[in-house]
Structure 1
Amino acid sequence: MNFLIIAATFLLMEGFTWCVHKYVMHGFLWSLHRDHHDHSTDPPLEKNDYFFVIFAIPAIALMYYGSTQNFNYYFYIGIGITLYGMSYFFVHDIFIHQRFKILKNTQNPYLLAIRRAHKQHHKHLGKEHGECFGFLWVPVKYFKMYFNKKK
């Protein structure tokens, strides 16, 4: 049962992330997210990185509270959120934005589709007219770009 709670939380985080990215990061907290779209400088840390802390706080609180309640479901929800955050960091910061230079030359269609969708998101420098706000779910048209090349 605990594994199901973790897996369900991880999957639900994609929808939550899409909403937060579209309506919060490209909305009232654009002041923190703007530098992520502005590529005129390439600092090691961006204001956008505060979102890692913002999203870690509820996960830590849930794990702490759940651990004090005999490791109830709150703990496992916190684990699911944390695993999603770790996945986000690996795919977004390491793979897509190459903060660490690994997986640069992948030929994996799924990873290439994620990278393409994210580039499509970043073509808009302002907070309006954005697209591709998700993270792990990629619109089918980006998959087709890479699968059709193989034919």
Structure 2
Amino acid sequence: MTTSWLALTLIAIGVFLVMEIVAWAAHKYIMHGWGWGWHESHHEPHEGLFEKNDLYAVVFAIFAIGLFALGTFAALPIVTAIASGITLYGLFYFIVHDGLVHQRWPFRHIPHKGYAKRLVQAHRLHHAVKGREGCVSFGFLYAPPVEKLSAELKSSGRVREEQGERRPTN
């Protein structure tokens, strides 16, 4: 089966875009649901390089590696393009979420304007709630308007600062 490089590139880009929806749903319904046992580490202060929540990245990586293997050994370039889109999303997640938002790697930059600032603010609002209930903004690369998220948080009455607690630094 031959497919043009343009078609495969478009498939990879499409999968990359769809991954934000997949990640949003996984974050809201798995990580803040039955998978809270791993994700809780991300909402609490921690020491060291890794947190239990990083196991989710391992799961997604194993899935992508499996798709790469299937696409390669079964000569299915479309499957390899899908794996490429998932991997590209993982790379952006690592750079934007772990790097820019949580400052988990040495490059330190705090954005003061535009999309990056809104993304950081939205994720801080996500962490403004103690526990898994009442959080806002579950996307990793898309951030709803901060004003909307702030109003949603305020109406929930679950903001950490109102309870006199400090937000995690990670």
Report the TM-score, using the length of structure 2 for normalisation.
0.79
Contact 2:100–2:110 under 8 Å retained in 1: no
Which has the higher mean CA deviation after the structures are superposed, 120-129 or 105-114?
105-114
Listed one character per residue, the Cα deviations across residues 66-87 of structure 1 (whole Å, up to 9, x for unaligned) are: 0112242111100000000010
Task: Give the counterpart letter for 2:60 in structure 1.
Answer: F
In structure 2, the partner of 1:34 is: 40
Which has the higher mean CA deviation after the structures are superposed, 90-99 or 67-76?
67-76
Q: CA RMSD in A?
A: 1.6
Report the Cα distance in structure 2 between the residues aligned to 1:48 and 1:28, rounded to whole angstroms: 13
Matched, 1:69 2:74: yes
In structure 2, the partner of 1:88 is: 93
Please give the secondary structure, in 1, of the residue aligned with 2:88: helix
Report the Cα distance in structure 2 between the residues aligned to 1:130 and 1:43, rounded to whole angstroms: 25
Report the Cα distance in structure 2 between the residues aligned to 1:120 and 1:72, rounded to whole angstroms: 40
Aligned in 2, Cα 1:105/1:130: closer, same or farther, shift over 3 Å? closer
Matched, 1:101 2:106: yes
Q: How many residues align?
A: 142
Q: What is the percentage of aligned positions where both structures have the same residue?
A: 40
In structure 1, the partner of 2:143 is: 138
Report the TM-score, using the length of structure 1 for normalisation.
0.88
Q: Which is higher, the Rg of structure 1 or of structure 2?
A: 2
What pairs up with 1:11-30 in 2 under 5 angstroms? 11-30=17-36
Please give the secondary structure, in 1, of the residue aligned with 2:10: helix
Structure 2 unaligned spans of 5+: 1-6, 148-170
In structure 2, the partner of 1:7 is: 13
Structure 1 unaligned spans of 5+: 143-151
Q: Which residue of 29, 39, 44 corresponds with 2:49?
A: 44
